[in-house]
Amino acid sequence: MESSELDRLAEQIHRELLARFGPPSERRFTRGQPPAGAKISFEQRVASLIDHTLLRPEATREQIEELCRQARRFGFASACVNPLWVPLCAKLLQGSEVKVCTVVGFPLGATLTEVKRFETGEALKLGAQEIDMVIPVGALRSGDWERVYLDILAVVDAARAAQAAVKVIIEAGLLSDSEKIAASTLALLAGADFVKTSTGFGPSGATVRDVEILRRAARGAMGVKAAGGIRSFDDFKKMIAAGATRIGASASIRILQEARQAAEQQGAPVL
């Protein structure tokens, strides 16, 4: 599908869903970037765009502790972990600028909406500051847009009182272009802060094309998080150029090392 066709499709779907669900209430949009004019190094700027992630089910306490030490040392946007580890991360990151990010309805998205709402509330009580939720992908593919919208809205409402950012994972590898646009638009209208490409456990990770599609649907009012398979600084740059405003990665240290090398060799690349 050509770029102009994608634009028309995105506009058509946006109008249809806006007429059905109405505009969102005011969101607390968070791009995950340092304040304008902030005097930070190129490496720090790269780190500020990354959610330093460890979501493997076999991850140990020692590995989570090391993740938090690295997140604090390098100044990543967040440490993203499974809910079990939220209290530990909240303790280890207390007093730092690094957010505690956790996942809800992860990784399948097929959990009941009320369970997602409860899970969100409990995670926030334990110290989470950002929530990455998975939509009910099967409902979206069935055309049940209302169920998906209400699912996202429940998590957004639960997070709003705690002023926590919500990122909506659509698992783009399972969706057609029109479904990706619909899922992203539903996230926008439900008041989410970001739409996110993938869980990292699906059939594929982030692609440049998917980020471009999600950016169109976000309409400049919602961030785009690219996650899954981003393992190098070159991958990072491609996603940022395509429109990502946050990157989810487990290879964060490697990305920073390569960013440092690039800055030393050719000056700070444009992001």
Residues 225, 247: contact at Cβ < 8 Å?
A: yes
Q: Are 206 and 232 in contact (CB under 8 A)?
A: no
The amino acid at 253: I
CATH of region 3-20+42-266: 3.20.20.70
The 10s digit of each residue's pLDDT in 94-139 is 999 999 999 999 999 999 999 999 999 999 999 999 999 999 999 9
271 residues of the chain, pLDDT tens digit each? 778 899 999 999 999 999 999 998 765 545 445 555 556 789 999 999 999 999 999 999 999 999 999 999 999 999 999 999 999 999 999 999 999 999 999 999 999 999 999 999 999 999 999 999 999 999 999 999 999 999 999 999 999 989 999 999 999 999 999 999 999 999 999 999 999 999 999 999 999 999 999 999 999 999 999 999 999 999 999 999 999 999 999 999 999 999 999 998 887 666 6
Q: What is the pLDDT of residue 31?
A: 47
Tokens coding 90: 């909240």
Q: Measure the CA–CA gap between 163 and 149, rounded to whole angstroms.
A: 20
Counting runs of H as helices and runs of E as strands, what totals does the chain give?
Answer: 11, 8
Active site residues: 132, 196, 225
pLDDT at residue 2 in the model: 78
